[in-house]
């Protein structure tokens, strides 16, 4: 009996200690204050949700789902090819591999929907709408690739036009006594354009631990301009064999200027061929109408006896 009484008292003591540590439910004013605090926190969460932009609240989930679909549709090597296109385009601000994939899917979905809605308002036939929607789906899927291709072509043209001046400044800096790295920094600081951006990236890669040859080879891999690739190859060979860089730069400067002149002459020779299409389709018909129109009208009046 004594053991049973001691066990009961022990359980009662444990229960009393637990009740002391367990928080009692609030009563009266405390309950009202807690309810107000919870409602304030809910209002703050709603305010934070409302402060988020439309892109974060609506577009971001769609973009995430589109990215998932794009990864399933494209192969494993597609990411490397897109990264290569981004490098050729100069890595536009905000454009990544994931963004390209999600944009391809979104354009392939949104563009056909808009065209079908517009065609339905005009009263087009179902067959025509289906064909146009299929074409719009294909166009929307390849639209980001076309954009990157256009950016890459424009950037390559800028490199061809500005490379000679950049190499001239590089040659002058080296002949004035600066090292090759310091001369690259001068070109990147005092010029603008894709060549200056690439030289600045070469310097950053060298500061991160890459050797000069590796950084220059990476520069050649990011470009599809033959003149720049030839220049990089010459600099790598000069660095490997110990040839004076100033002499190599002087030779490369002259060759790049000759190639730029030839490139300009080639572009000038293409102008007459390119102008033939608008000339035949648009200018000559209008000219014939203006010149021959009155004569044709007079001839018609003469044949009608008026």
Name residues whose C-beta falls within 8 Å of residue 180's C-beta, 6 or more positions apart in sequence: 174, 212, 235, 245
Supply the pLDDT for residue 32.
Answer: 54
Residue recorded with tokens 């409302």: 50
In a domain, 207, yes or no: yes
The pLDDT, as a whole number, for residue 88 is 86
CA distances from 11 to 14, 17, 299 (A): 5, 10, 124
The whole-number pLDDT of residue 68 equals 66
- For residue 46 the two structure tokens come to 């709603």
pLDDT of 283 reads 87
Count of other CB atoms within 10 angstroms of residue 227: 19
pLDDT profile of the chain (306 residues), mean per 10: 43 44 48 56 51 58 62 67 86 82 82 82 78 86 89 90 88 86 88 88 89 88 86 86 84 87 86 86 87 84 74
For 114, phi and psi rounded to 5 degrees?
-65, -40
* Torsion (CA) 123, 127, 129, 134 in degrees, nearest 10: 180
| Total domains present in the chain | 1
Q: What's the predicted TM-score (pTM) here?
A: 0.66
Domain assignment of residue 9, yes or no: no
Evaluate whether residue 53 is within a structural domain. Answer: no
CA-based nearest residue to 170, from 160, 180, 156, 161:
180
Token duo for residue 252:
């490369």
Helix (H, G, I), strand (E, B) or coil at 225: coil
The b/e string for 255-283 (b: 16+ C-beta within 10 A; e otherwise) is: bbeebbeeeeeeeeeeeeeeeeeeeeeee
Residue 44, domain member (yes or no): no
Any domain includes 142: no
The 3-state DSSP composition of the chain as helix, strand, coil percent (nearest 5) reads 85, 0, 15
- Residue linked to tokens 């589109």: 66
The CATH code of the domain that includes 224 is 1.20.81
From CA 8, how far away is CA 2, in angstroms rounded? 10
Rg, Å, the chain Cα set: 36
pLDDT of residue 300: 82
DSSP state of 27: -
Print the domain residue range for 224. 157-261
Residue 73 placed within a domain: no
Task: Output the CA torsion 230→234→239→244 (10° steps).
Answer: -140
The answer to the question of residue 256 being in a domain is yes
CA 190, distance to chain mean position in Å, is: 26
Task: Report d(CA 242, CA 157) in Å as an integer.
Answer: 32
Joined together, the tokens standing for residue 5 give 């009484």
pLDDT for 48 equals 53
- In a domain, residue 104? The reply is no
Question: 160 by DSSP, 3-state: which?
Answer: helix
Check residue 150 and give its pLDDT.
Answer: 92
Pick the closest to residue 47 from 58, 39, 59 (CA basis).
39
């Amino acid at each position: 009996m004594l053991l049973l009484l001691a066990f009961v008292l022990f359980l009662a003591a444990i229960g009393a200690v637990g009740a002391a540590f367990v928080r009692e439910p609030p009563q009266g004013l405390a309950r009202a204050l807690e309810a107000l605090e919870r409602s304030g926190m809910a209002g703050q969460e709603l305010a934070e949700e409302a402060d988020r932009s439309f892109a974060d609240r609506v577009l971001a989930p769609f973009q995430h789902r589109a990215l998932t679909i794009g990864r399933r549709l494209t192969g494993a090597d597609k990411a490397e090819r897109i990264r290569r296109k981004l490098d050729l385009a100069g890595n536009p601000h905000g454009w990544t591999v994931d963004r390209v994939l999600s944009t391809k899917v979104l354009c392939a979905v949104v563009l056909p929907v808009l065209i079908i809605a517009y065609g339905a308002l005009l009263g087009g036939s179902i067959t025509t709408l289906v064909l146009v929607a299929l074409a719009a789906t294909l166009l929307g899927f390849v639209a980001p690739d076309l954009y990157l291709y256009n950016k890459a072509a424009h950037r390559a043209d800028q490199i061809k036009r500005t490379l000679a001046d950049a190499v001239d400044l590089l040659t002058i800096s080296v002949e004035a006594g600066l090292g090759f790295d310091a001369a690259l920094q001068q070109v990147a600081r005092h010029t603008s354009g894709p060549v200056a951006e690439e030289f600045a990236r070469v310097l950053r890669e060298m500061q991160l631990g890459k050797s000069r040859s590796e950084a220059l080879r990476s520069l050649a891999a990011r470009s599809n301009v033959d003149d720049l690739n030839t220049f990089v190859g010459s600099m790598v060979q000069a660095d490997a064999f110990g040839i004076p860089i100033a002499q190599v730069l002087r030779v490369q400067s002259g060759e790049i200027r000759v190639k730029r002149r030839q490139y300009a002459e080639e572009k000038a020779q293409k102008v007459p061929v390119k102008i033939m299409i608008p000339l035949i389709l648009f200018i000559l018909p209008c000219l014939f109408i203006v010149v021959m129109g009155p004569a044709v009208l007079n001839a018609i009046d003469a044949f009608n006896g008026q």
